[in-house]
A and B are shown apart, each in its own frame.
Chain A
């Protein structure tokens, strides 16, 4: 009896002790928060595990966001994220940071559809499902107030299982440029099937495999009202308008499975290295050559696809445009952003940031490319090789399968102060990269 009560007392004492400590700590925290008035960015001491060049810092704006794809930041620093799949009926998330420490402290959601594309101009927020593009009116603070009745600008775009997402950008002159990805790997009669020949001509190109142009002030446009602006692009996820060139620039996801479909022509190692992921400057009417060719970055040539009689050496696509820069195969460039901010050092100005999602089609070789790359630009043209800007998103040294990666970069946006935001659709995190060297 006495022993039990003793124990009970012990337990009570422990709880009391714990309670006092918690009280003590929470008191401390409140005091701290009250004393800090001026907005100081809470840069993570370990940069959230992300490796950035000297002078840069990384913070986690928010996590547990589901699968955020493309992102856009308004003039107040509020961030809109498009989710691949809606969560509780909400496919667009709006994050705000009221106290200016860089960490989001409020979160709102709306739009009951999933998708990838999102874009802001001064008057509207634009967002895409896999078939449509909508626009929402912004108020003076750059916020959407009427979340329930967007205008439908574009509708009835083809959407099958493969490459269904509709990334888009705008030119500031009332035009929208939307990627309609080819619903195929290489336009074989039967997709991704050993021995199935390429369709000649590839019928997919009539309604997909290119960039279509629409107006931002007309409603319910579809193929009849739009224009095929460029063709022969397998799937463009990253695209941005370059204001220096006044031209559209895109990054293409190159074809998969050279080894699994043509084991006699390509071994697994070659297949892991080919073809290049490519960046193109797009002029109206351009053809980038898919599915008839792919770009070999070692031979620096457009090579005839094996589906159309190629052997890894025969060149083709004389009328197809050449890339302005190339990247290693299969790294999946998911976002492109030309940096126009003043925060980063001068060499970054007008250069291109590319969010690479990371590969899967290099297997059985190790996977690559869970990173944000940078390509320096001068007068609208690449002025150097691509370089790794931010790395370590995977969180592990060697990735044999993308399911092992903690984070996969997917979207990029520039904040009003010149910060670079990076979304991650694997870990559901939003990162912010700032330059803070004095």
Chain B
């Protein structure tokens, strides 16, 4: 009896319910996609980013920016400086240079092998040597490489963990 009542109700309002459902789906979908646009990556990653960096604009950045920044502060900042401009005559800048913004493998080689790697054009210009940071994990290298390619006014395609892994397997010595 109740069942019958419900079924008649549904059949009576099929069109309205269908429209309501459709509306709901569109609404949810649009919410979801706008969220996705702002923050790619999993829900948990978004939370950790926004917790450690409460500022709204930074929370909107891809996760490699925050993770790469951590690595940068630990191993790169002293020489290349907070603004990435380096030190005249001593440590090269990370801005406006093919070593950073050009071929991804060139940057990976410098990070992993140090300044003896691929800096023939710069040797007379900057006095200090840089050690290789091959002891860092593939993810840390991908993060820091992507971070410097997209900081200090730089804009270049990020480097993925897979790209670091494949670079290492090809350049094993």
Binding site for B on A (CB under 8 A): 84, 161-164, 190-194, 196, 257, 259-260, 360-361, 363-364, 400-404, 426
Contact status B87-A402, CB under 8 Å? yes
Q: Within the complex, which residue of A163, A196, A426 is in contact with B127, where a contact is CB–CB below 8 Å?
A: A163
Contact status A161-B91, CB under 8 Å? no
Some 17 contacts from A to B, beta carbons below 8 A apart, are: A84-B89, A161-B124, A161-B127, A161-B128, A190-B131, A192-B128, A192-B130, A193-B131, A194-B131, A196-B131, A257-B78, A259-B78, A260-B78, A361-B78, A402-B87, A403-B85, A403-B86
Contact status B128-A403, CB under 8 Å? no
Name the residue in A196, A364, A403 with the highest tally of chain B Cβ atoms < 10 Å from its Cβ.
Answer: A403
15 more A-B residue pairs beyond the given contacts A192-B131, A196-B131, A401-B82, with a C-beta to C-beta distance below 8 A: A84-B89, A161-B126, A163-B127, A190-B131, A194-B131, A360-B79, A360-B81, A360-B91, A364-B73, A400-B81, A402-B81, A402-B88, A403-B85, A403-B87, A403-B88
Q: Within the complex, which residue of B77, B81, B127, B129 is in contact with A403, where a contact is CB–CB below 8 Å?
A: B81
Convert B12-45 into 0s and 1s, putting 1 for each residue whose CB lies closer than 8 angstroms to a CB of A: 0000000000000000000000000000000000
Contact status A162-B127, CB under 8 Å? yes
Chain A residues contacting B129 (CB-CB under 8 Å) are 161-162, 191-192
Q: Within the complex, which residue of B77, B126, B131 is in contact with A363, where a contact is CB–CB below 8 Å?
A: B77
B165 nearest CB across to chain A (Å): 23
Chain A residues contacting B96 (CB-CB under 8 Å) are none
B101 nearest CB across to chain A (Å): 18
Chain A residues contacting B78 (CB-CB under 8 Å) are 257, 259-260, 361, 363-364
- B90 at interface by CB-CB < 8 Å: yes
Complex CA distance for A403 and B85, rounded to whole angstroms: 7
Chain A residues contacting B91 (CB-CB under 8 Å) are 360
Convert B69-102 into 0s and 1s, putting 1 for each residue whose CB lies closer than 8 angstroms to a CB of A: 0000101011101110111111101000000000
Chain B residues contacting A400 (CB-CB under 8 Å) are 81-83
Name the residue in B75, B90, B114, B130 with the highest tally of chain A Cβ atoms < 10 Å from its Cβ.
Answer: B90
Complex CA distance for A426 and B86, rounded to whole angstroms: 14
Contact status A401-B81, CB under 8 Å? yes
Complex CA distance for A164 and B127, rounded to whole angstroms: 8
- B123 at interface by CB-CB < 8 Å: yes
Contact status B90-A360, CB under 8 Å? yes
Complex CA distance for A361 and B81, rounded to whole angstroms: 9
Contact status A404-B75, CB under 8 Å? no
Contact status A360-B83, CB under 8 Å? no
Contact status A404-B131, CB under 8 Å? no
A52 nearest CB across to chain B (Å): 25
A296 nearest CB across to chain B (Å): 20
The 6 closest A-B pairs by CB, nearest first: A193-B131, A401-B81, A403-B85, A360-B87, A161-B127, A162-B127
Name the residue in A161, A364, A404 with the highest tally of chain B Cβ atoms < 10 Å from its Cβ.
Answer: A161
Which residue of chain B lies nearest to A184 when distances are taken between CB atoms in the complex?
B129
Chain B residues contacting A426 (CB-CB under 8 Å) are 88
Complex CA distance for A260 and B128, rounded to whole angstroms: 14
Complex CA distance for A378 and B12, rounded to whole angstroms: 108
Chain B residues contacting A363 (CB-CB under 8 Å) are 77-78, 81-82
User: With A401-B85, A403-B86 in contact, is A364–B77 under 8 Å at CB?
Assistant: yes
Which residue of chain A lies nearest to B73 when distances are taken between CB atoms in the complex?
A364
A290 nearest CB across to chain B (Å): 17
Complex CA distance for A426 and B77, rounded to whole angstroms: 21
Chain B residues contacting A194 (CB-CB under 8 Å) are 131
Q: Within the complex, which residue of A260, A360, A361, A364 is in contact with B75, where a contact is CB–CB below 8 Å?
A: A260
Chain A residues contacting B90 (CB-CB under 8 Å) are 360
